Amino acid sequence: MSRGLFAVLASLVVSSALAAPGRAVRPPARPVTIDNNSSCDIGVYPAATLLLPYFEVDVRKAVTDAPNTLFTIINTRRTPQIARVNIWTDAGYPAMWFNVFLTGFDVQPISMYDVVARGLVPATSNALAAGDRSAPNGGNPNFVALEGCASAGGAMPAAVLAQMQAMLTTGANGDSACRVGTEHELATGYVTVDVVNSCSNVSPLDIAYYSQVLLYDNALTGDYERINPDSAVGNHAGGNPLVHIKALPEGGPAGSGSTALPYTFYDRYTPAGARRIDRRQPLPAAFAARFIQGGTGRFQTEFAMWREGVTAGASCVAANTSIPFASIVRFDELGNPSASYVKAEAAGLRLMTAASSSPPTTSSLFPPMLSGPGVSGWMYLDLDNRVGASSTNPYSSNRTSQNWLIVHMKADGRYAVDYDATTLANGCSGAGQIQTLNINERSAQ
């Protein structure tokens, strides 16, 4: 008998013995947390906050033809969780929020078309029976109240729906002097999903949300899909894991404990005396991203970006519609830079995006391609907005700004793929540790 076959048979015998009637099957031991798992590196681990960096929905078309974004929330724990879903405009203003009650090991898909175009919020309830492997629905010791969880979701009032659509498509919020987003045909923005201790309706702009509602259990995972079913202009789809942002350390009631992180994801919104109370990992600033544009497959590439705003804004976040870059360099297939926008503001260049956007790589936002047969390459992007080092710093410290970048590639009007760009430094690296490319500006033009 071969050694390989013997190993397979031995494995089957052991498995059968463990599963024999009347014999308890012990679950595998929970892995021990190691330093790397408690670092600032972002990975697909169960998390306390999930970020959908960019979504788009066409509220004017039927669902069969409308561009749409779907995402899913999964509770990886036996204990129930309450997930707060916050929908933000592309300038970082909360247009709408709702709670999702998750029983143990529960999963909740969400169609942004249903929410934004139809005004239908997923209906969940703590009154529903939990699965036989789950803890009771009141079994999370960090819950403080379940009022409002029994009938969460449903159809929103017409006036609320109209206001949300206006904020996500025109940036209007009833005050012509103050914009909360940019104007575009599709409803766009970003979404955050947090573990919380109740079905509270407190606004994510209220500091009480971070000191009294937010929890720290790394229990959630999820993914998203961007789809365009209109065969005339799209007929493609792409998906990716959501950005998983862990709480470090995890566990405990709201407002408890401290973190060794230098700053946190929700820095701008936290109380003045407790700026790291959310304990969420910070996101990085520098990325390397691949692109393909043109060719026989008619490739197109977009960079879907989430960028930390330059103001939190209780009512007006107009400054977050034009967030500057620090540096962008495009390299062709032979490694030649077509342009280098190093220290763009100092050079008088205004390279700006909103807090959430998905510009094509042919946009004037990016350096142009060199002439030649090549259709692909990569870009170095230092997305630090440099505001953290300014006299108007809205953050808790002098630091780089947070960002995330997803490469969205399409081809032939039939295929699409999404994946995270490579991060060149994590959120704890600091401004001095981000690599600055030394490229001669004159030779790069």
Question: pLDDT digit string (tens) for 258-317?
Answer: 999 999 999 999 999 999 999 999 999 999 999 999 887 789 999 999 999 998 877 788
Mean pLDDT of 215-226: 98
pLDDT at 294: 85
Q: Examine the pLDDT at 442 and tell me if it is beyond 80.
A: no
Number of CB atoms found within 10 A of residue 382's CB:
25
Q: Examine the pLDDT at 385 and tell me if it is beyond 80.
A: yes
The confidence band for 437, taking pLDDT boundaries of 50, 70 and 90, is: low
pLDDT at 341: 55
Domain boundaries, the chain: 36-281, 283-445
The confidence band for 434, taking pLDDT boundaries of 50, 70 and 90, is: low
The Cα 437–Cα 340 span in angstroms is: 9
The Cα 152–Cα 127 span in angstroms is: 11
Asked which of 206-210, 279-283, 326-330, 378-382 is least confident by mean pLDDT, the reply is 326-330
State what percent of residues in the chain have pLDDT above 90: 66
User: Is the separation of the CB atoms in 227 and 67 below 8 Å?
Assistant: yes
Cis (ω within 30 of 0) for the bond into 249?
A: yes
Q: Examine the pLDDT at 393 and tell me if it is beyond 70.
A: yes
Q: Examine the pLDDT at 368 and tell me if it is beyond 90.
A: no
pLDDT at 431: 54
Residue with more model confidence, 389 or 158: 158
Q: Examine the pLDDT at 221 and tell me if it is beyond 50.
A: yes
State what percent of residues in the chain have pLDDT above 70: 84
Q: Closest Cα partner for 331 from 319, 322, 340?
A: 340
Q: Give the pair of three-digit tokens for residue 390.
A: 């300014």
pLDDT at 303: 97
pLDDT at 23: 37
Residue with more model confidence, 126 or 326: 126
Mean pLDDT of 168-177: 84
Q: Which residue has the tokens 């999370």?
A: 140
pLDDT at 27: 41
The Cα 67–Cα 234 span in angstroms is: 9
Mean pLDDT over all residues of the chain? 86
Residue with more model confidence, 244 or 372: 244
pLDDT at 338: 79
Residue with more model confidence, 101 or 233: 101
Q: Examine the pLDDT at 412 and tell me if it is beyond 90.
A: no
pLDDT at 152: 92
Q: Examine the pLDDT at 38 and tell me if it is beyond 80.
A: no
The Cα 252–Cα 144 span in angstroms is: 12
The confidence band for 17, taking pLDDT boundaries of 50, 70 and 90, is: very low
pLDDT at 176: 65
Q: State the chain's maximal CA–CA distance in angstroms.
A: 81
The Cα 119–Cα 113 span in angstroms is: 8
Q: Examine the pLDDT at 186 and tell me if it is beyond 60.
A: yes
pLDDT at 314: 72
Asked which of 130-134, 208-212, 232-236, 264-268 is least confident by mean pLDDT, the reply is 232-236
CA atoms within 13 A on the CB side of 74: 11
The confidence band for 365, taking pLDDT boundaries of 50, 70 and 90, is: confident
Cα separation values, 134 from 64, 76, 198, 295, 430, Å? 37, 11, 19, 52, 42
